[in-house]
Amino acid sequence: MKKTHSHDWHPLFWWLWACAGSVMLLRNSRADSSWIIALSFSIILAAITLTRQFPLSSSSRRLLRLGYIIALVATGFRMIIAITLGVPMPGRVLFQLPQIDLPNFLVGITIGGPVTSQRLAGAMSESLVFAGIVILFATANALTTPHRLLRVLPSRLHGIGLATSIATSVAPQSAESFTRVRQAHRLRGRQLNSWNSIGRVAVPVLEESLERSIDLAVALESRGYGYFQSPSRYRPEKWKREELLLLSSFAALVIVSVPSGSTSLVFSLFAFFFLFAPGLFA
Amino acid sequence: MIDFKEVSLIYPGSERTVFDRVSFSVDEGEMVLVIGHTGAGKSSILKLINGIVPHHTHGILNGDICVDGRSTKDHKPGALSDLIGVVSQNPLHGFVCDIVEDEIAFSMETRGFTPDVMRKRMEEVLDLLSLSELRRRDIRTLSGGEQQRVAIASALVTQPRVLLLDEPTSALDPIAAEEVLAILNRLVDDLGLTVVLAEHKLERVISFVDRILLIGDSGDVAFDNTRAILSYSPIAPPLVELARVVGADEIPLSVREFRKNSFDIGVMEPRKASSNPSVIASLQDVTVIYDGFNKVSALRNLSLKVHEGEIVAIMGRNGAGKSTLLKSFLGLSPVISGDIRIKDVEPLKTSTEAISTLVGYVPQDPSDLLFATSINEECAISDEDHNLQAGTTLAIYQDLMDIPNVNAHPRDISEGQRLGLVLSIVLSRSPSLILLDEPTRGLDYEAKRSLVEILKRLSSEKNCAIVISTHDVELVSELAGRVIFVAEGEVVADGSTREILTASPAFAPQVVKAFPNSGALTLNDVKKLLSKRVGR
């Protein structure tokens, strides 16, 4: 069966897919850092290629981009901290940073100083694991929509459902109105590079999102959301064979990787292939 | 079906009584139109019917409202949802799902309908609203009219007995509006549905409605049949104004009724073409492509010129590329090829801030530009931004219209006043080209009249060019000298307003439809012709 749209998949599938990828990354974090780097890169690559396989709406694309930015900034930040701060590590010295002397009670911790190959590799692998997890969930979020997830959740959670649907529809819409309002302000002839001009854009954007949230809450109320005891499903979401097959392969891969605790090039390739597998149905 | 008994409503913190002991009752199977000035309480009436006021907003309510015997005092909106379907002013804000079919199913799912009932109802409602082909589409990719139909479908699918609609056609082009209204009319005829709707553009709806609820400014209402209300109402469509001018015996509800009178007003002399003024802005072979999953070209090799002192209206269906065209003048749309010039400046090679001294842009939602807490502050910031003498912007605003209290919050003033405020901020830079994107959404007849006056004065006194994109044919006939018709990103017609508007039946204003061969375009034209007859 061809699944041309990521929405044809069970809404939980993509979240489980992201979980499987994260477990693969985390289970192996004690292994040799060069393999972790290889594994992280292949998983990130699988996630990015997947998002190119399926059509995405402009708002989910925007959210995905936000995810990438968060991953990038966090990785950079993590790298800087890991390189400059820590205990001295053995290995070949790559370059020298100016060292700051610390008081005596902080024996063994240095700021700056020689940067060895091992420290660089360690910092990189840790940051990449984090970036990988952020990117996996950003991808899952772009490929499903929270609205659909809402529909497979138990109906008793209606208050949570209401809050989630408001929050999730407001976030991408606010991103859209932010772009629009910013543009309008530049047309008012205002340079928008200073900090105090942020308020000028934020006020109309926040007002609009508040208005939208209220509109949505009123609309849900008018449609009787949460007033009836036993909601039903128009087209119940069912697990399909290929989805179950893929999920069980993820599980197998995770289980295999746990006791060995090691990674290899073969494992990275496997991880890449399995995580990319849904793209073969696109 | 709907009974208002001695209903009074005030909002805390406001001195105005919205309704003062109002009583009326709407019968089953009736189509009722709610009219009134902006802010008079049209939306409040609709919200009172299904209990959103006072359950969701903090209005103070006295009296009793019953729908089919159920009082809104004891029933929250959700508990009335089996009886009342609601289509809100901006349906896009209320959508919960992404796909058309899911959205329609959502109303049934919350009510716990069995799957086979849902299947059947779904097919019925999709057919009823001609949505079958769109059932798997993403709602956000649909046009305004299609979205409106989805909203009506999801309200109707649970088979309510009352349908409430707040300005269902204000964002739609004339053709889409006609489709939606024809469907509503059929629902009333076939299903015996009770429909209550609020609408500013009376010319679109009066031929369909049975009775009108006119909300006065002092908390009173009048409820009577359409003709009776329109015989004295200060808010009336152009056709009724026309009947008043020519002294027709009966108030016409449709152009056909009016034509039965067979008035003869003579023929207007064609207007002389003006001399060649200089070109202010030009687009040459402009192509714009939006980068999406499917590359959509919004403009295709489009060329046009705008001259000094000209008022140009850009018209066309929803999604034809009107807004993109306006943004191209500013160099803000993703232009792939082509040449854009405002006087000697090329917006594509100039910073947006620099363009803003040449081109004034009023966005679709004027409040996008406003952020201060009072009118005074807003004007002061505008002066400061552009190094103008203090008070300049406020003086422009005062010159444009009678302004409200300068300490009022820009959110609390009327739509028309807000538009005026934004316009004065834009004008403070004395631009040579002014762009307005759909300025009449939510404006009543009075506010529109004042907008027409303001813009006409600007173009004649300041000699600047004005380009306006709009669906409002009545506004175009009053205001513009030239109309450019856009379809699928191309200019399909470009000529004088008279020429273009009389050629297309869907886009013809009511005066043209009433006197097709006279050459008259506006009420003023008719008055002029009539005075000539008297003089002879």
Q: Which of B171, B259, B197 is nearest to B45 (CA)?
A: B197
pLDDT tens-digit series, residues B144-191: 778 888 999 999 898 899 999 998 888 788 888 888 888 888 888 888
Q: Looking at the complex, report in whole angstroms how far the Cα of residue B188 sits from the nearest Cα belonging to chain A.
A: 21
User: Which residue range is the domain that position A97 belongs to?
Assistant: 6-154+238-281
Confidence of residue B197 (pLDDT cuts 50, 70, 90): very high
Whether the per-residue pLDDT at B518 is higher than 60: the answer is yes
Lowest mean pLDDT among A87-91, A126-130, B285-289, B448-452: A87-91
Judging by beta carbons within 10 Å of its beta carbon (0-12, 13-18, 19+), is residue B408 exposed, middle or buried? Answer: middle
Q: Do A221 and B76 touch (CB under 8 A)?
A: yes
Question: Given CB atoms, is B296 within the 8 Å cutoff of chain A?
Answer: no
Give the best-scoring range by mean pLDDT among B283-292, B296-305, B429-438.
B429-438
Question: Which residues share a beta bridge with A95?
Answer: A115
Whether the per-residue pLDDT at A49 is higher than 90: the answer is no
Residues of chain A with C-beta less than 8 angstroms from the C-beta of B126: none
What chain B residue is nearest to A187 in terms of C-alpha separation?
A: B356
Q: What is the CA radius of gyration of chain A?
A: 23
Confidence of residue A114 (pLDDT cuts 50, 70, 90): confident
From residue B350, give the alpha-carbon distance in Å to each of B346, B425, B427: 6, 22, 20
The interface predicted TM-score (ipTM) is 0.81
- The overall average pLDDT reported for chain A is 77
Task: Go through B365-374 and write b for each residue having 16 or more CB atoms within 10 A of its CB, e for each that does not.
Answer: bbbbbbbbee
Q: Which of B93, B101, B119 sits opposite A212 (nearest CB)?
A: B93
Q: Which of B56, B97, B106 sits opposite A218 (nearest CB)?
A: B56
What chain B residue is nearest to A166 in terms of C-alpha separation?
A: B96
Residue A87 domain flag:
yes
Local structure of A100: helix, strand or coil: strand
**Cα separation, B287 vs A191, whole angstroms:** 28
Average pLDDT rounded to a whole number, residues B124-137: 87
Q: Looking at the complex, report in whole angstroms how far the Cα of residue A109 sits from the nearest Cα belonging to chain B.
A: 50
pLDDT for B466 equals 93
- The overall average pLDDT reported for chain B is 86
Whether the per-residue pLDDT at B536 is higher than 60: the answer is no
Residue A84 · residue A96 · CB < 8 Å: no
- Across the A:B interface, residue pairs with CB atoms under 8 Å apart total 161
Q: Do A215 and B93 touch (CB under 8 A)?
A: yes
Number of domains in chain A: 1
Whether the per-residue pLDDT at B112 is higher than 80: the answer is yes
Residue B198 · residue B45 · CB < 8 Å: yes
Residues of chain B with C-beta less than 8 angstroms from the C-beta of A176: none
Residue A94 domain flag:
yes
Q: What angle do CA B511, B515, B517 make, to 5 degrees?
A: 130
**Cα separation, B407 vs B413, whole angstroms:** 11
Q: Do A151 and B109 touch (CB under 8 A)?
A: yes
Average pLDDT rounded to a whole number, residues A56-65: 77
Q: Which of B107, B292, B429 sits opposite A223 (nearest CB)?
A: B107
Task: Write down all domains in chain B, each with its CATH number in brackets.
Answer: 2-221 (3.40.50.300), 279-514 (3.40.50.300)
Residues of chain B with C-beta less than 8 angstroms from the C-beta of A219: 86, 88, 93-96
**Cα separation, A120 vs A94, whole angstroms:** 9
From residue A24, give the alpha-carbon distance in Å to each of A17, A20, A51, A138: 11, 6, 20, 17
Residue A216 domain flag:
no
The encoded tokens of residue B496 equal 């004088």
Q: Which of A181, A183, A229 sits opposite B332 (nearest CB)?
A: A183
Residues of chain B with C-beta less than 8 angstroms from the C-beta of A230: 112
pLDDT for B272 equals 62
Residue B165 · residue B196 · CB < 8 Å: yes
From residue B170, give the alpha-carbon distance in Å to each of B156, B180, B337, B372: 20, 11, 34, 28
Average pLDDT rounded to a whole number, residues B329-334: 84
Confidence of residue B293 (pLDDT cuts 50, 70, 90): very low
Whether the per-residue pLDDT at A195 is higher than 70: the answer is no
> Left (φ > 0), alpha (ψ -120 to 50) or beta: where does A32 sit?
beta
**Cα separation, A214 vs A224, whole angstroms:** 15
Q: B321 — phi, psi (to 5°)?
A: 115, 20
pLDDT for A1 equals 43
Q: Which of A165, A223, A230 sits opposite B81 (nearest CB)?
A: A223
Q: Looking at the complex, report in whole angstroms how far the Cα of residue B275 sits from the nearest Cα belonging to chain A.
A: 32
Residue A251 domain flag:
yes
Q: Which of A148, A187, A212 sits opposite B356 (nearest CB)?
A: A187
**Cα separation, B104 vs B95, whole angstroms:** 10
Residues of chain B with C-beta less than 8 angstroms from the C-beta of A227: 76, 78-79, 81, 110
Average pLDDT rounded to a whole number, residues B216-243: 89
Q: Do A7 and B97 touch (CB under 8 A)?
A: no
**Cα separation, B75 vs B86, whole angstroms:** 16
Which DSSP symbol is given to A162? H
Residue A265 domain flag:
yes
Task: Go through A195-226 and write b for each residue having 16 or more CB atoms within 10 A of its CB, e for each that does not.
Answer: eeeeebbebbbeebbeebbebbbbbbbbbbbb
pLDDT tens-digit series, residues B67-81: 998 988 888 888 888
Whether the per-residue pLDDT at A158 is higher than 80: the answer is no
Torsional sign, CA A129, A133, A139, A142: negative
Confidence of residue B274 (pLDDT cuts 50, 70, 90): low
Instruction: Evaluate the omega torsion of the peptide bond into residue B54 and state whether it is cis, within 30 degrees of 0.
Output: yes
Whether the per-residue pLDDT at A4 is higher than 70: the answer is no
Local structure of B495: helix, strand or coil: strand
Lowest mean pLDDT among A229-233, B214-218, B522-526: A229-233
Whether the per-residue pLDDT at A14 is higher than 80: the answer is yes
Whether the per-residue pLDDT at A133 is higher than 50: the answer is yes
Whether the per-residue pLDDT at B32 is higher than 90: the answer is yes
Whether the per-residue pLDDT at B31 is higher than 90: the answer is yes
- For residue B383, the surrounding DSSP H or E stretch is helix B375-385
Residue B496 · residue B481 · CB < 8 Å: yes
Confidence of residue A151 (pLDDT cuts 50, 70, 90): low
Residues of chain A with C-beta less than 8 angstroms from the C-beta of B358: none
* Cβ-proximal residues to A136 (8 Å cutoff; 6+ apart), any chain: A17, A18, A21, A22, A43, A47
pLDDT tens-digit series, residues B35-76: 988 778 888 899 999 888 888 877 888 889 999 989 888 888
pLDDT for B27 equals 93
Confidence of residue B275 (pLDDT cuts 50, 70, 90): low
| pLDDT above 90 as % of chain A | 1
Whether the per-residue pLDDT at A208 is higher than 70: the answer is yes
Residue A37 domain flag:
yes
> Left (φ > 0), alpha (ψ -120 to 50) or beta: where does B13 sit?
left
| pLDDT above 70 as % of chain B | 97
Q: Which of A201, A215, A228 sits opposite B112 (nearest CB)?
A: A228
Residues of chain B with C-beta less than 8 angstroms from the C-beta of A223: 81, 86, 106-107, 110, 154-155
pLDDT tens-digit series, residues B368-423: 888 888 888 889 888 888 888 888 888 888 888 887 788 888 887 888 888 889 99
Residues of chain B with C-beta less than 8 angstroms from the C-beta of A212: 93
* Cβ-proximal residues to A77 (8 Å cutoff; 6+ apart), any chain: none
pLDDT for B18 equals 84
pLDDT for A257 equals 67
pLDDT tens-digit series, residues B501-515: 888 777 888 888 888
Local structure of B36: helix, strand or coil: coil
Residues of chain B with C-beta less than 8 angstroms from the C-beta of A147: 96-98, 102
Residue A136 domain flag:
yes
Q: Do B353 and A55 touch (CB under 8 A)?
A: no
What chain A residue is nearest to B372 in terms of C-alpha separation?
A: A200
pLDDT for A202 equals 82
Local structure of A115: helix, strand or coil: strand
